[in-house]
Homo-oligomer: A and B are copies of this chain.
Amino acid sequence: MALKYSRQREAIKEFLCTRKDHPTADVVYANVSRQYPNISLGTVYRNLTLLADMGEIRRLHLGDGQDHFDADTSEHYHFICQKCGRVMDLQMESIEKINDLAGVGFDGQIAGHITYFYGVCGECSTQKQQ
């Protein structure tokens, strides 16, 4: 169960840190493949899962069928553009208090929430529709 160093895991983590667009596993694979042409998709998945379990990265279930990964583990929210599919970070004040609102009259413990916002991003909304 002790963790051993692996250059592949290192490269995956490093790649994720360079990106703020929350790539999917296959995007990670495509990019890390340039540095390690023999790396396998299985290894990418294994390490993404490992890193997420260790809390070094965050795994996002956005409901689009693929998981997205984010090297930024600080508390923040995401926005998904319904036109281009882009996933972007939001800088917004904390909405932690919605946990309390959810707890009112609820017979159980609210530990947290998952929230993401959707709509049309700035770039897409200034585009002429084709």
Contacts and interface: CB of A to CB of B under 8 A. Distances in A.
A122 B103 CA distance: 11
B98 A115 contact: yes
A interface residue count range (under 10 / 10 to 19 / 20 to 34 / 35 or more): 35 or more
Interface of A: 61-63, 77, 79, 81-82, 90-93, 95, 98-99, 101-102, 104-125
B118 A115 contact: no
B120 A106 contact: no
A66 to B, nearest CB: 12
A14 to B, nearest CB: 26
Contacts of A125: 108-109
Residue with the greatest number of chain B CB neighbours at <10 A, chosen from A62, A107, A109, A124: A109
A112 B82 CA distance: 11
Contacts of A105: 91-92
Nearest to A110: B119
Contacts of A63: 61, 114
A79 B119 contact: no
A79 B110 contact: yes
Contacts of A91: 105-106
